[in-house]
Amino acid sequence: MHALDVQKVSHWFGANRVLWDVNLQVAAGQIVAMVGPSGCGKSTLLRAILGTHPPREGVILADGIRIDGPTRHVGIVYQDYALYDFLTARKNVAFGPMLDETNPAFRLFRFPAWRRLRRRHLAEATALLEKVGLERAADRYPSEMSGGMRQRVAIAQALVMRPKILLLDEPFGALDEATREELQLMILSLAEENRLARQAGGQPPHTILLVTHELNEALYVAERVIGLSQFHEDGARGATIVYDKASPVFRPDQAKDVEALHKQREELRAAVFDPENLKKHDRYVTFWKDHADKR
């Protein structure tokens, strides 16, 4: 069973055919990047997976369960993700589980039980903040943090819900280059956590689908890169997945060697971003063929 299974998804707004026959399986513990021309439908696809905007056609499953509305199984962080200004970083992160696992009557009438649960949520929040490198900022308010720090809190806030899959929609787009690199490293550290969990025979905890317009970022942080594009043989019907291949795996302590990515970057550019290159849509979709063993 896949963490995410998108089956024959198509979507349109009036006469504007946006998505056509999108099929995508993501295994638990995969860190996947998605790139595509601006306006091709990446956010539309993420909203369908999130469950807030179901597709016109097709089915989406998270861990085998059909998505027909937002649930805690799918999390999302956007570029301009907003935190609660009146809560510290720690309380921002603990807020989601608190809402999900309690109700006002419980909080009022079962106060001791509520206090124990509250302590657990805060401890989980602290652990997550450590994971995203914010252990020393846990008691700061959003107004006391940089944009990069706030975006880390937002990611911790999503991770604390233990989603089956976490969607990141251009999450670092508004950040300066240095901050962006720090956050890329943070994603690599989550991938490293997956690797260690697998090595120990356990379940890798983080499954991530990251949309970015930066090809180097996609190739650097993800182990698999997907291209969504309207530039294919049947492009009039909408954008679909025209590229799906493994990409080099970097460890957090390894140098970011952009040169090593050169060949695949050019291939991506040709397959996904070139309006003249109208090949059959599955010409470069080979991930599962190349990795039959990982199915």
The reply on whether position 103 binds ligand ADP by CB under 6 A is no
For Mg ion, give the closer residue by CB, 155 or 188.
Answer: 155
The pattern of x and - marking residues 29 through 68 that bind ligand ADP according to CB under 6 A reads -------x-xxxxxxx------------------------
Looking at the Cβ atoms of 78 and 250, the one nearer to ligand ADP is: 78
Q: Are strands 224-229 and 240-246 parallel, antiparallel or unpaired?
A: antiparallel
Start-to-end CA span in the chain (Å): 9
Q: Closest separation between CB of residue 169 and ligand ADP, Å?
A: 7
CA dist., res. 197 & res. 215, Å (int): 28
Report d(CA 274, CA 167) in Å as an integer.
26
- Which ranges in 10-82 belong to alpha helices (H)? 42-50
Identity of the residue, 15 or 178, whose beta carbon is nearer to ligand ADP in the bound complex: 15
Query: What is the secondary structure of 192-245 as a DSSP string?
Result: HHHHHHHHTTS-----EEEE-S-HHHHHHH-SEEEEEES-STTGGG-BEEEEEE
Closest-CA residue to 3 (of 26, 23, 22): 26
* Residues written for the chain: 295
- At closest approach, how far in Å is the CB of 44 from ligand ADP? 3
- Judged by beta carbon, residue 16 or residue 203, the one nearer ligand ADP is 16
Which of the stretches 11-19, 24-32, 62-70, 133-141 binds ligand ADP when contact is defined by CB under 6 A?
11-19
Q: How far is the CB of 225 from ligand ADP (least distance, A)?
A: 15
- In the complex, what is the shortest distance from the CB of residue 87 to Mg ion, in angstroms, rounded to a whole number? 28
User: For ligand ADP, how many residues bind (rule: CB under 6 A)?
Assistant: 11
91 binds, among Mg ion, ligand ADP, none (CB under 5 to 8 A by kind): none
CB of 36 to ligand ADP, least distance (A): 6
Rg (CA), the chain: 20
Residues binding ligand ADP (CB under 6 A): 13, 16, 18, 36, 38-44
